[in-house]
Amino acid sequence: MIPIRAVSARLLERITLAPLAEPISVSLSMDEEWSPRMQGTITVPDTADLSGGLLWKHQGDTITLELVTRYGPMLGVAGDGDPGGSCAALTARFGGSVARWREDLTRPWNPGEHIEPLSTATGLWGGAVAAVTTDHAGDVDAITGRLRVAGGSYRIRPTERLLLRLRVRRILPSAQEGTIVYEVAGEDTRLHDYRRTSTTAKTFTERFSLRQVVHEVLTEIAAGSNPVYSIGLHPGPDIAIPESALWDPAVSAWEFLQPILEAVGWTLYADTDGLHRLHPRSTETAPVILDATDNLSRWEPVTDYETAYYDGAMVEYLDAEPLDPRRWDVYMMPGATRILHETRPGIRHLPGAAEQLVTRSRTRAGRATAHATVQLGLRPGHRVEVRLPPYDAHGTPVVPVHHGTLATLTHTYPDAETTFGFRDVI
């Protein structure tokens, strides 16, 4: 049963969180293979005064985007039970007409949402329509108490609020459209912007752990930054680096770190709070289930062995001596037939990258795209349970439950929709 939802997006001042503007539209994506991981566009009216955010001073400034989903009662309960049992009771209590109340109470918040009457819900979850709609003229909590809710609740869900710290990369005003488009990205843009300015290389021997290396790099970036900005690293796990590494002059922080991360199968990115996270490429159970009766509107699976699936890889390190056997890092599955070849400039040798490429690619054959109402709690790397109707459009029984690892997601406003890209779908 679909709950009533109200969604909103606002731009806030980065320190005080004072409101600056309400965007016309927002498209914000997160992708586990991207760096920066978060990228998107925010469109505001050209009459909006964003001077409080200092955005016109330089393109590297930071702003906060607020996304909010507020929930109301379930539509079926709101219409049939909460106010007293019927549209006639509503008109007697609040005035108006039966037709108007029926129209208001059955209109979905988002076009296309499926609405179930209370009788359907009680049939699924137990209870009796008479006990709910006649004996009880109470609130949603009272109705919930009269239903057996082993699988869920009719209580109003808590408001979801997500604050995202973003850096403005480009500002595109349009006098013809009367709009300003801000192209934004996460704080990990600084890994790409910063290059080692010393004329000598910085050496990290095998005595350094990966977290120590990342901390040293972030510290150097922060030392040369505007003191208004902070840069930090969440605490977490650690691992030894596979070999000593050189951070050469004029090489960006990301160009230096990315091959090391790739070789050990770890990931580094800035989270929504602007702090960096370093951890293995692994999955964790999602806090949300995508369900066709609650939030999922479309599920489009695909099996693809053509574009992203490999069972072997050869990584060539271009700075190694031509006859050095370590110039090539090779990994093959038994009977490998699809071989990936990639080059890595600026690196002499770093074992492990080829195996990690194959490991990741083998999860991409079973993929899917899903469309749902906005789900602010999901992130790339979440292992999501997806529940579908038991029959397809032809009445044929289908597998009703799938699981997939979230690889990408895109929040869009005012559509109030999240589009998900899954890998490793079963």
pLDDT in tens, the chain (426 residues): 456 678 999 998 888 888 889 999 999 999 999 999 999 999 999 887 665 444 544 445 788 999 999 876 555 444 444 444 455 665 665 566 666 655 555 444 333 333 344 444 444 444 444 444 444 444 444 544 444 333 344 456 778 999 999 999 999 999 899 999 999 999 999 999 999 999 999 999 989 999 999 999 999 998 876 654 567 899 999 999 988 899 999 999 999 999 999 999 999 999 999 999 999 999 999 999 999 878 899 999 998 877 778 999 999 988 888 888 888 999 999 999 999 999 888 777 788 889 998 988 888 888 999 999 999 999 999 999 999 988 777 878 877 899 999 999 999 999 999 999 999 998
pLDDT of residue 96: 65
**Nearest-CA neighbor of 177 among 44, 272, 292?**
44
Give the number of C-alpha atoms closer than 13 A to the C-alpha of residue 360, restricted to the C-beta side. 21
> Residue holding tokens 């590297």?
60
Q: What is the C-alpha to C-alpha distance for residues 339 and 298, in angstroms, rounded to an integer? A: 34
Tell whether pTM > 0.85.
no
pLDDT of residue 124: 42
Q: What is the C-alpha to C-alpha distance for residues 318 and 334, in angstroms, rounded to an integer? A: 27
Q: Is 420 exposed, middle or buried (0-12, 13-18, 19+ CB in 10 A)?
A: buried
Please say whether the beta carbons of 109 and 6 come within 8 A: yes
User: How big is the chain by its Cα radius of gyration, in Å?
Assistant: 26
pLDDT of residue 131: 47
pLDDT of residue 130: 47
Please state the length of the chain: 426
pLDDT of residue 345: 80
DSSP state of 361: H
pLDDT of residue 102: 57
pLDDT of residue 190: 92
